[in-house]
Structure formats: structure tokens, C-alpha cells
Structure 1
Amino acid sequence: MIRVTFLGTSGAVPTVSRAPSAVHLNREGDEFLFDCGEGTQRQMMRFGTGFGLSHLFVSHLHGDHVLGIPGLVQSLDFNDREEPLAIHGPPGSKRHLTELVHAVGHDPGFPVTVREVRPGAVALDREEYEVRAFETNHRTSSVGYALVEADRKGRFDREKAEAELGIPPGPAYGRLHAGETIELDDGRVVDPEEVVGPPRPGRRVVYTGDTRPVEATVEAAENADLLVHDATFLHEAVDRARKTAHSTAREAAEVADRAEAKRLALTHLSSRYAGRAHELEREAAEAFDGEAFLPDDGEEIEVPFPDADDE
């Protein structure tokens, strides 16, 4: 299960209904936070994500993406946290992020590590998935992040194994599914390819932070199950988007379309569109064949496996 909760979907200026940038992701119990705008800790309480996060991935150092860090760290400390927290940020961010962790002289009673990650590097390496940094284009040092799962084993054809090949149910099935060739009691040799299908792709979730449309996002989001992309403006304000190094809803949709992503979440909505959010969705839908939506704060979605419909 991958569950994504949008904690803050506003642009630089929050509104009554939208908080600054923060996205919570739960992958099979591993909890991550992408950016941490002011008030994120309260959003986590309000929308029930809990405080079990182990890694915080910061896209860049603008205030609406990091000013929630001191409050979050201190709240974790007040709740007697002992587990370590790792904070990842773009090149040049370590000193500033460390200062935020220790704001107003607070020294957390649990381990906090801060490290910089360059575009193209793996920020978090696990056996079943990686979190990779990729290049973005904002007005300061910045990166986006892609959670990319490893391929899964192919499906085991139990019917063929039992009915056609006469393999009795038992440990042999597990050995074949693990890629091992077996020999049956009658001397026949069965290769795993005879009963196991091709590897099945894992899931991919991509978060850009603030950025202009860039080729690196297209590459990182190739066939992504979910692309969370800056869509600060309508395309009528594209000159403003270029000047401030943001994207329009149409530009975000064009990136998603080129990447052949399945779903596009439009985030970092400018406060000027407080009552017009539907216009961004409509604009994106015109340039993207997949599902484009602008989540509300607190909206929670699940990201299924690419072949879930075949189950």
C-alpha cells in the first residue's frame, strides 16, 4: 500500500483552506514527508497521518517549504521520540536545515541527521525501493524526488504447475517462484520460466517541489503512477510563472503527458485562485490524457500497482 496525504497545497501565501507545502507518503509502513511548510505538524494531527515519519525530503529552502521544521522537531521531542529522523535537502542546504532543527536553541533528544543530495543521486536506498533526487529549476538550489519501487516477481501459474506439469503443491512452488530450477521425483527438470511470468513493475511516485517544466522531470516521471507537480498559475499568467520559476497547470499537464504518467496532482496553488481551483483542473485536463486533479488539504489517495486491474 502507498498512501499519499496532501497536508499543504497552497503557494507561498497560505489561505484559510490551504496550508503551505507538505505531502505525507506512507509506503507499507515506511513514512516520509516531502517538504514541511509552516503548521505541518498541526496538519498531521488534523488529518491523522501520525508522527511515525523517518525521512523528510526538502525540495528547496524557501520559507513555505521549511518553516514547519522547528515546530515539527520540537513536537516530536516533546512526545519522547527516540527513533532517528533523517532530513535530506538540495546542495548548499545543510547549514540552514541544521539551524532550523536547532531553532531558538533547541537540541532534540533524538538523533537528527541532515544531508545534502545532488540531482541524480539516491537519497534513500532500500532493497524494495529507492528515493532518487532529480534536477528541478527554481530560483534557488532545488531538487525533486522520485520514489521508485523495484520490479516484483512475475505471477506464479499455479494451474499450469499442478494440472499441466504435475508438480504437487508444496515447497517446490516457492523455489520456482524464487527463480530456482527444480527436479521432480520422476526426473523431470522444471525451469522457473515455465510457471513464472515476467517481472512486474513496481510503483513510482514523483514530487517536484517548485519548478519550471524541465526535461529531468519528464525522465523521472516516466510511466509514473502519480506525479505531484508545481501548478502555481493558470496559463494566462505564464509570464509571471517564468519570472518566478514556477509552472502553470497547462505546463504541468504537458510534462505529465510527455512522461505518460497515470495521474497528475496539481499543487502549490497561488492564493489568487482561492475560489477558482476548478479552472486549473480544467486547463490541465485539456493537455493531459490521464487523471489530473487539484487535491484539497487533507485529501488522501492510494497508489495501486500498475497491474492492479489484472489481479
Structure 2
Amino acid sequence: MDIWFLGTGAGRPTKERNVTSIALRLPDPDCALWLFDAGEATQHQFMRTPLKLNKLEALFVTHLHGDHTFGIPGLLSTRSYVGGNGPMKVFGPPGIRELVDTSLRLSGTRLDYEIAYTEIEEGIIFEDERFIVEARALEHRLPCFGYRITERDRPGKLQVEKLKELGVPEGPLYGSLKKGQDVSLPDGTVVRAAEVAGTPIKGRIVTILGDTKPCDNTVILGRDADLLVHEATFADGQQEKAHLYGHSTTVEAAEAARAAGARQLVMTHFSTRFTAEQIPALEQEAQEIFPESTAAYDLYHTSIACRQ
């Protein structure tokens, strides 16, 4: 599982940072992409990475401010041109359907695929056989959400030699056992999946928060996360201004990560007041509270390893 920070600035783009967008690449077998927010020029940022837009399957919008949404119409249009013709899931606060549909309608944009909208409330908003996505409200100037992506635990590697000893023929039965399903052999013998698989692989947790000032839900969503993405619009000592605009400081992001018991913190959404030369100092502020803190920059990429 990999995460790419396509834009890490707040409010408006600069020469150094584009506005917010984060791509999460899911693991094998499909390596599908999920995108979190799409500020203006997000599709341009895609072209600077090895990511393929036709692999994009879902868009999760934290809130409707323009620096998180103005890139959506162009992104969806380009997806059609590059062969992304499968259905597209779009999750976001009430109003996301109107925002997207109105933009596409007034611009005469036609898509070669259907959009399935989910205007979210707090709770589990998506789940399948591999992932669960939970949303909770944050504290910002517009309705805003954070997302907790939980990968389901997976069965361990099959013990092939043991399967051969038990007389399990290769083929569909191996697949059933790999999925954790017990199987019956032609002679009536029942082979238990738990007895022929290695240690289960613990699922990973990735938490991606929208804009927010400190609140309880940042810690709830980030509990035991392998990776917590938290905004850090302002520096330490600027709490009053940060809270006035519904934002957090570097130290507050680090305090949330520490309280949540997260394994790693990546900060993003930095104010345009900060130059590239000032970012290491901001990173250091957070590291003094939570050592595993990183200040993201545009196109920053990291992998989320499987838990041991």
C-alpha cells in the first residue's frame, strides 16, 4: 500500500506547492487508486508521478472548499480520455453531487462512465471484502470529515507441503483455503483453513483527515493507525490564528498522533506564508512531540508496510 501527496499547500497554489490532493494506491491484486480531495491542477500532478488515472476507482472529499475540490471536473473528464471507463465512486459532504454535476453540465462535459455518489454522514460509509472506510466529522468552517481506512486481516500463507500431505489437490480448493474457508475432500475429510495457513496478516490502518482544529475525532479516527495524515497549516505559537480559521499547528498535529497511538504522522496543508527553507523547522517542532513526524512536500511518497 502506497500513498502519494500530490498537493500539500493550503488555500492557493504556489510555485513550490499545489493545493490538496492525496492518492492512496491499494495493494495487489488490482493496485487500484483512491483519491482524497482534488484541488485545482490535481490531474497535472498525476502526470508527474507513475500513477495511472485509469486506475482511479474512488474519490473521497473531505469538504467543499475550493482548494480541495476545484480540480474535480477536469480530473473526471480526463479519466474518460485515458480509458478509465469503469464506474466511479464519489464520497463527500452534502452538496458534492450538486458541485460536480453542475460543473459537468454547464461545461458540456460528457463522461464515459457512471458516477455513484454517496453524500456522507458519520459512520461506516464503505466496506467490501478487503476494506472498511469510516468517516467522522471534524471542526472546520464548512462541514468537514476525516476518513479511517482499515484493511481487513488476511489469512497467512498456505503451507503447501502440509496440503500435499493431506491430499488436497491444487486448484479451487487452494483458493478457498486461502480465503479462510474450510473445504471437504472427496473422501469426506474436512481440511480447516486455520490449520494449513500461516500466521494471519494484520490489516493496515490509514487515517486521512481534512482541515480541522484540534478535536476528539482526530484522535478517534487515528487510533493505532499505521499512518496518520494531519493538516499543519500553522506553526507552533500561532494557535489562536489557526483555530480562528479552523486549522491546526504542527505541535497540535503531533499531539493528536501521540494521543492516538499512531505509528507515523505525515503533516500537510502548509500555509503559503512558509517557504521551503522554513519547513524543516516546522517538522522539528512536531518531532519534539512525536518523533515519527514528517512534513510532506509535493509528490512525497511513502509505503505503508504490512504489520508484523
* TM score, norm. by length of structure 1: 0.85
Deviations 1:157-201 (A, max 9, x none): 789x69xxxx82652895877364989x9xx99866666566442
| Partner AA of 2:253 in structure 1 | A
Residues 1:194 and 1:93: Cα distance change in structure 2 (over 3 Å): closer
What corresponds to 2:51 in structure 1? 49
Whether 2:85 is the aligned partner of 1:82: answer yes
Q: Is the partner of 2:262 in helix, strand or coil?
A: coil
Q: How does 1:283-294 map to 2 (within 5 A)?
A: 283-289=285-291, 291-294=292-295
Unaligned runs of 5+ residues in structure 2 are none
> In 1, Cα distance between the equivalents of 2:89 and 2:160?
43
Deviations 1:73-99 (A, max 9, x none): 222234454222221111343322322
What's the CA shift for 1:100? 3.1
| Partner AA of 2:168 in structure 1 | P
Q: Is the partner of 1:281 in helix, strand or coil?
A: helix
The equivalent position to 1:95 in structure 2, one of 94, 98, 101, is 98
Residues 1:181 and 1:99: Cα distance change in structure 2 (over 3 Å): closer
The equivalent position to 1:104 in structure 2, one of 102, 107, 116, is 107
Whether 2:24 is the aligned partner of 1:21: answer no
Residues 1:258 and 1:106: Cα distance change in structure 2 (over 3 Å): same
- Kindly report the root-mean-square deviation, in angstroms, between the aligned alpha carbons of the 2 structures: 2.7
Residues 1:248 and 1:101: Cα distance change in structure 2 (over 3 Å): farther
What corresponds to 2:72 in structure 1? 69
Residues 1:26 and 1:37: Cα distance change in structure 2 (over 3 Å): same
The equivalent position to 2:165 in structure 1, one of 164, 168, 180, is 168
Q: Is the partner of 2:50 in helix, strand or coil?
A: coil
What's the CA shift for 1:17? 1.3
Task: Name whichever of 214-223 and 59-68 sits farther off.
Answer: 214-223
> In 2, Cα distance between the equivalents of 1:189 and 1:107?
54
Q: Is the partner of 1:99 in helix, strand or coil?
A: helix
Task: Name whichever of 174-183 and 67-76 sits farther off.
Answer: 174-183
Task: Name whichever of 106-115 and 260-269 sits farther off.
Answer: 106-115
What's the CA shift for 1:46? 1.4
What corresponds to 2:278 in structure 1? 276
Task: Name whichever of 217-226 and 194-203 sits farther off.
Answer: 194-203
Residues 1:127 and 1:253: Cα distance change in structure 2 (over 3 Å): same
What's the CA shift for 1:155? 6.0
What's the CA shift for 1:49? 1.2
Task: Name whichever of 231-240 and 125-134 sits farther off.
Answer: 125-134
Deviations 1:19-60 (A, max 9, x none): 000011110212111000000000001122110201111100
What corresponds to 2:302 in structure 1? 301
Q: Is the partner of 1:236 in helix, strand or coil?
A: coil
> In 2, Cα distance between the equivalents of 1:270 and 1:35?
17
CA contact (8 A) 2:255 2:289 kept: yes
> In 2, Cα distance between the equivalents of 1:58 and 1:105?
23
Deviations 1:207-235 (A, max 9, x none): 10111122222122211111111111112
CA contact (8 A) 1:218 1:256 kept: yes
> In 1, Cα distance between the equivalents of 2:177 and 2:57?
35
* TM score, norm. by length of structure 2: 0.86
What corresponds to 1:146 in structure 2? 148
CA contact (8 A) 2:9 2:268 kept: yes
CA contact (8 A) 2:8 2:268 kept: yes
What corresponds to 1:136 in structure 2? 138
Unaligned runs of 5+ residues in structure 1 are none
> In 2, Cα distance between the equivalents of 1:76 and 1:191?
44
CA contact (8 A) 2:182 2:191 kept: no
> In 2, Cα distance between the equivalents of 1:132 and 1:81?
26
Task: Name whichever of 88-97 and 259-268 sits farther off.
Answer: 88-97
Q: Is the partner of 1:20 in helix, strand or coil?
A: coil
CA contact (8 A) 1:90 1:141 kept: yes
CA contact (8 A) 1:77 1:108 kept: yes
What corresponds to 1:59 in structure 2? 62
